[in-house]
Amino acid sequence: MSPSVVADGAEPDLEYAAVRDGDACDMRFGTAAVFRACFASRTITLLEGSRDDPPMLDHLLFDHVFPRVLAAEALLVLHGSLVAIDGRLAVFIGETGAGKSTLGASLHARGHRLLGDDAVIVTEQGGAFFGAAVYPSLRLYPDSIGRLLGEDADTAPMAAYSDKRHVTGFRAAASDAPPLPIACIFSLAGGEDQPAIRPHSARLACMTMLEQSFALDPGDVRAASGRLAAAARLASASACFELDVPHDYDRLPETHRLIEAAMAAAAGAQQDKEPTR
């Protein structure tokens, strides 16, 4: 495949395919780029790709390649945003465009800590689940940046084909947050007139997490089985909800209150389960 040149504003073909050979895996993103990950040397190399859009190559590396490489070694890597609320984590998952980044940024502006808006590394210790961001990221459209963070927020392009911008204060931040316990999993649903929250069954939450997880090789049945088992355990150990998030900035405070109440209830329930010392 010869490198392609993407015209300004034109979205490239990013269909993902992987070919693994021993300790190396070639990851192809349609006509945009091919990366090779070598697990023995722990290196990632760009094999093919247009250098006319460096931000896009950067975006592919951080937001697509790294999570998939980590997924080959981690328990579970979810496509979602991650916010720390009173020392525990709220994980927001959902389809692209559901509002994960906007919601995370708005909670951050409210005083909570957004750790990342793209990929969540899940680990398990003694039956408890912890989460960490792959890197401190925040990508938003300009109107959301202006409304939530202010017009003077420092940003950089994400890719020539997208109007989204990286909020560089997050990109440049040191990733110093240790893994924190996961309290709630929120599956985002949009398009409703007002915020609403409903308990999500462990089965449905598990399937949503599986759909919104990264995989190095989607055809690897054994790895898929491991992700399914991990998602099932995480769903059973966490408070899971379906959250309606209207595309209306003025309704965000109501959404915040629903999230904070759910997190407080989950923290209380978890403390009740902990043995008294």
What is the span of the domain harbouring residue 122?
A: 76-273
CA distance 274 to 259: 23
To the nearest 10°, the Cα dihedral for 262, 267, 270, 274?
-170
In a domain, 177, yes or no: yes
In a domain, 107, yes or no: yes
Cβ pair 9, 161 in contact under 8 A: yes
In a domain, 66, yes or no: no
pTM: 0.89
Query: How many domains are contained in the chain?
Result: 1
Cβ pair 202, 240 in contact under 8 A: yes
Look at residues 262, 239, 256, 243 and name the one whose alpha carbon lies nearest to residue 98: 243
Residue 220, domain CATH: 3.40.50.300
Q: What is the pLDDT of residues 194-228, one digit of tens each?
A: 999 999 999 999 999 999 999 999 888 999 999 99
Phi, psi of 122, deg, nearest 5: -105, 130
In a domain, 142, yes or no: yes
In a domain, 99, yes or no: yes
Q: Average pLDDT in the 177-206 region?
A: 90
CA distance 221 to 6: 34
In a domain, 23, yes or no: no
In a domain, 141, yes or no: yes
Across the chain, what does the average pLDDT equal? 88
In a domain, 28, yes or no: no
∠ CA 24-53-64, rounded to 5°:
40
Residue in the structure block whose two tokens are 């997490």: 209
Q: What is the pLDDT of residues 77-92, one digit of tens each?
A: 999 999 999 999 999 9
